[in-house]
Amino acid sequence: MSFAEDWGRRLQPGAGPLGILPLAMGQGLPDTDEPGPGAQGILPYAMAANESPATQDGDAAPSAADAGADTAAAAGPAPARNAAAPGAAPRPARSLLERDRRYLANYYSAMARLAQQYGVNPALALGVGGESNFASGGTYTHTGDAFGMTGGGVGRLTHAANAAQNAQQFFDAYGDQIRGSGGDVDRFINGLQGRDAQGQPVKNWKRYNSAKGDYEKRLHKWIGQMQRDIPLYQPDPPAPPR
């Protein structure tokens, strides 16, 4: 009896526990190692992509993902991002420089009120105070002008009696050019420098600073300083009644 005939006999209905239909009459097993239909007329079982081949002991070999998971579990939980090194002192919370606290205490309310009227984020307008190192140096010490509005010459310096007057002077001079900038730093700087939102010069608009080539880069930095400082700023509480 041939091998095919023997299997045909074994696979007849009722001949075995599987109850599989027999091979068609005269059909033998293929004489090739090429994949082809099996006894049931279907292609041989293909191993799924996520299954692992068996080891010599019959157990499934661990996949790369399983091996990685085991390694990670053995190593323990990953440290939190930006966590301090073991034994290191915790990072201190960022605090406001005293210079900036005084500047905001004097100027924030007045500048914020006018900035709202002109549709400008107050941090952008307050950033111009970097001209005077935020009301701590430069011509501010003898003019009271935190924004360095020199008018193009020493003889045309702006003088202010207080922060409210100084804020009004700034917006009177440049408010229309920066109107509607919102929180757009580039648009704000364009307006301050006499350009429209696309960066094109506008006739009869003034240029805030034309003397220093890196002015706009420095102004970006000053505005960033105020954007970080303002959320930390808390006005001094009112003095208790005597």
Can you give the pLDDT at residue 65? Answer: 47
Alpha helices in the chain (DSSP H): 3-10, 64-75, 98-118, 122-127, 140-143, 163-178, 185-192, 215-229
pLDDT at 242: 59
Instruction: Please tell me whether residue 180 adopts helix, strand or coil conformation.
Output: coil
**Domain covering 98-232, topology:** Lysozyme (1.10.530)
pLDDT tens, residue by residue, 131-144: 999 999 999 999 99
Q: How many helices (DSSP H) and strands (DSSP E) are in the chain?
A: 8, 0
Query: Tens digit of pLDDT for each residue in 186-195?
Result: 999 999 999 9
Cβ within 8 Å of residue 166, ≥6 positions away: 107, 110, 144, 145, 146, 147, 158, 160
> What are 18-75's pLDDT values in tens digits?
444 443 333 444 444 444 444 344 343 333 444 444 444 444 445 444 544 455 445 5
Cα separation, 222 vs 68, in Å, equals 48
Confidence of residue 233 (pLDDT cuts 50, 70, 90): very high
pLDDT score for 95: 86
Please report the pLDDT score of residue 239 as a whole number.
61
Instruction: Please tell me the pTM assigned to this model.
Output: 0.60
Region 208-233: mean pLDDT is 92
Mean of the pLDDT values across residues 184-211?
94
Q: Is the pLDDT of residue 210 over 50?
A: yes
Alpha carbons 196 and 176: distance in angstroms, whole number: 11
DSSP state of 58: S
Lowest mean pLDDT among 42-46, 78-82, 201-205, 217-221: 42-46
What is the average per-residue pLDDT within 2-9? 49
For 79-129, how does the pLDDT look when each residue is reduced to its tens digit (9 = 90+)?
554 455 556 556 556 789 999 999 999 999 999 999 999 999 999 999 999
Residue 158 has pLDDT above 50, yes or no: yes
Distance CA 85, CA 79 (A): 9
Longest distance between any two alpha carbons in the chain, whole Å: 121
Q: What is the pLDDT of residue 211?
A: 73
